Chains A and B, each alone.
Chain A
Amino acid sequence: MNTLEQLTQLIHDKFDIEKSSLQPDLPLSEYGLDSLALAELLFTIEEEFNVKFPDRPENIDTLKKLAVAIDELRASQPV
């Protein structure tokens, strides 16, 4: 599974959102994720992917951008 697929699975598991409705380029707010839910999601991603986001990640508003950010963090923060 690539990062995008893992992410899709995680969002489905955590928020019970249909996987088929989760599109890489759709704004996360389209699924009903507000700023609070996004904060919660980033926290969970940090646990699941073993990465650490900068304090206030900016411009992450789609699944694709989120997946790219995770991959970049993984590359720069070797476990």
Chain B
Amino acid sequence: MKRRVAITGIGLISPHGDTPDCVFDALLAGHSAVTLWDEGSAPPAAVARAPFDPARWFTRLQLAGVDRVSQIAVAAAQMAREDAGMDTLAPSTGVYVGTGMGGANAVEESFRSHYGSGRVPPLSVPAFMPNAPAAHVAMREKLHGPVYTYSIACASSAVALAEAAKAVAHGEMDCALAGGTEALLVPGAIRAWHALQTLARVDDEPWRACRPFSADRTGLVLGEGAAFLVLEAFDDALARGARIYAEFAGSGVSCDATHLTKPDATGQVKAITAALRNSGMAPGDITYCNAHGTATSIGDVVECAALERVWGDAIGNLAVSSTKSIHGHLLGAAGALEAVVTVLAIHRAAIPPNMHCREQDTQCGITLVREPGHFVPSINAAISNSFAFGGTNTTLVFKRAT
């Protein structure tokens, strides 16, 4: 017998800040957090940096061997727990973390040292290992349940959330701390993305470089940040009088198994339909889709094709936006941040806009929410899509807590 799962806590270190309500207000207003990155050692790029002061969370001694990707994870996880109104979590709580690259700063530094001075910092390995963020969260929160790391490119934290929700639903644990973290705004990593020819072209308006579903889109904008959610058995949350942002209704995961980087509508349809089936919903129940929408030329078209196949003639009734247009692509943390956006859309009954789309691509036959401040009192359920390099597709379904 599956149990219902409640979302009771949100913690963020994001390009728009670290307070869920303020972040959502900024998104709803359509404010872009994208700025120019130009450090001389690589071609300039538009990026979304997350403001973060490590001194708020760590002593200098505690920072030894702790990469930025772990620092922001610890901060976001702690804020999620506090936001859930809990001083401590039960030791049996599970930790589910998604990250694409792990400790990119430590990777960069170790290679720089290797080719430079030849003296590689001794804590490079514990700093850059991909499961370091989850381990640091577990140590900080004193959690002894399962501690898992998912590295599935852009779907990493969406899968982490899906797995955590399943564990709670099936009674493996009563509570999970789940989310994602990514911090790879370092020259080597940015240059690698640049070389793949996926990054948005930089002009004199870097803040509008990411233009999902727009006819003039040129690519994605890298972002950094961490987002965590507290998932609890719904009845437990009710019993302790917790604020419930939304119910985690279900998820669907599939793999294209066709191409490493080229998305495939058939695979995406499988994830979306599985997610709807698992959550007991029909397309008509869903008001809003927070799209994967990275603003690559092929990705946006394929995602629209998948949505159109599932929604059919009713596609016009589904409101869609890619908030990546203003917070960038957080890669391994994207699924978690966008889950937060989707959950808050339901909680606040408002849909953040898809910015910077002056003229919608005619191949993208979806109803885009393009204007800021779009309130939707009737929103009852919403989905968030995360489609990864490697072909793994994940759709998460959330619904109003009733």
The answer on a CB contact under 8 Å between B119 and A47 is yes
- Given A36-B65, A40-B65, CB of A15 within 8 Å of CB of B60: yes
Shortest distance from the beta carbon of A67 to any chain B beta carbon, whole Å: 20
The answer on a CB contact under 8 Å between B64 and A36 is yes
Does any Cβ of B come within 8 Å of A49's Cβ?
A: no
Does any Cβ of B come within 8 Å of A17's Cβ?
A: yes
The answer on a CB contact under 8 Å between B123 and A14 is no
Shortest distance from the beta carbon of A4 to any chain B beta carbon, whole Å: 20
Interface residues as binary, A11-34 with B (CB distance below 8 Å gives 1, 0 otherwise): 000111100000000000001110
B60 — which chain A residues lie within 8 A by C-beta? 14-16
Does any Cβ of B come within 8 Å of A39's Cβ?
A: yes
The answer on a CB contact under 8 Å between B119 and A43 is yes
B119 — which chain A residues lie within 8 A by C-beta? 43, 46-47
Shortest distance from the beta carbon of B136 to any chain A beta carbon, whole Å: 12
- How distant is the Cα of A39 from the Cα of B121 in the complex, in angstroms? 9
Q: Is the interface of B mostly helix, strand, loop or mixed?
A: loop
In the complex, residue of chain B having the shortest beta-carbon distance to the beta carbon of A43:
B122
The answer on a CB contact under 8 Å between A17 and B61 is yes
Interface residues as binary, A43-63 with B (CB distance below 8 Å gives 1, 0 otherwise): 100110000000000000000
The answer on a CB contact under 8 Å between A32 and B61 is yes
* Number of residue pairs A-B, CB distance < 8 angstroms: 32
The answer on a CB contact under 8 Å between B59 and A40 is no
B: contact size bracket: 10 to 19
Shortest distance from the beta carbon of A40 to any chain B beta carbon, whole Å: 4
Shortest distance from the beta carbon of A18 to any chain B beta carbon, whole Å: 11
Shortest distance from the beta carbon of A37 to any chain B beta carbon, whole Å: 5
User: B61 contacts which of A16, A43, A46 (Cβ < 8 Å)?
Assistant: A16
Interface residues as binary, B51-62 with A (CB distance below 8 Å gives 1, 0 otherwise): 000000001110
From A17, A33, A37, name the one whose CB has the most chain B CB atoms within 10 angstroms.
Answer: A37
Does any Cβ of A come within 8 Å of B171's Cβ?
A: no
A16 — which chain B residues lie within 8 A by C-beta? 59-61
The answer on a CB contact under 8 Å between A36 and B126 is yes
The answer on a CB contact under 8 Å between B122 and A39 is yes
In the complex, residue of chain A having the shortest beta-carbon distance to the beta carbon of B66:
A36
- How distant is the Cα of A64 from the Cα of B13 in the complex, in angstroms? 42
Shortest distance from the beta carbon of B55 to any chain A beta carbon, whole Å: 9
- How distant is the Cα of A36 from the Cα of B66 in the complex, in angstroms? 11
In the complex, residue of chain A having the shortest beta-carbon distance to the beta carbon of B121:
A43
Shortest distance from the beta carbon of B369 to any chain A beta carbon, whole Å: 47
Shortest distance from the beta carbon of B211 to any chain A beta carbon, whole Å: 44
- How distant is the Cα of A28 from the Cα of B119 in the complex, in angstroms? 24
* Beta-carbon contacts under 8 Å, B114-128 to A: 119, 121-123, 126
A33 — which chain B residues lie within 8 A by C-beta? 61
- How distant is the Cα of A32 from the Cα of B63 in the complex, in angstroms? 12
- How distant is the Cα of A14 from the Cα of B121 in the complex, in angstroms? 14
The answer on a CB contact under 8 Å between A37 and B126 is no
A32 — which chain B residues lie within 8 A by C-beta? 61
Shortest distance from the beta carbon of A13 to any chain B beta carbon, whole Å: 9
Interface residues as binary, B106-120 with A (CB distance below 8 Å gives 1, 0 otherwise): 000000000000010
- How distant is the Cα of A47 from the Cα of B61 in the complex, in angstroms? 18
Interface residues as binary, B62-82 with A (CB distance below 8 Å gives 1, 0 otherwise): 001100000000000000000
25 contacts between A and B (CB under 8 A): A14-B60, A15-B59, A15-B60, A15-B61, A16-B59, A16-B60, A16-B61, A17-B61, A32-B61, A33-B61, A36-B64, A36-B123, A36-B126, A37-B61, A37-B64, A39-B122, A39-B123, A40-B64, A40-B121, A40-B122, A40-B123, A42-B122, A43-B119, A43-B121, A46-B119
Given contacts A17-B61, A32-B61, A36-B65, 12 further A-B contacts (CB under 8 A): A15-B60, A15-B64, A16-B59, A16-B60, A16-B61, A31-B61, A36-B123, A36-B126, A37-B61, A37-B65, A39-B122, A39-B123
List chain B positions with a Cβ less than 8 A from chain A: 59-61, 64-65, 119, 121-123, 126
Which 6 A-B residue pairings sit nearest by Cβ, starting from the closest? A16-B60, A15-B61, A39-B122, A40-B64, A37-B64, A15-B60
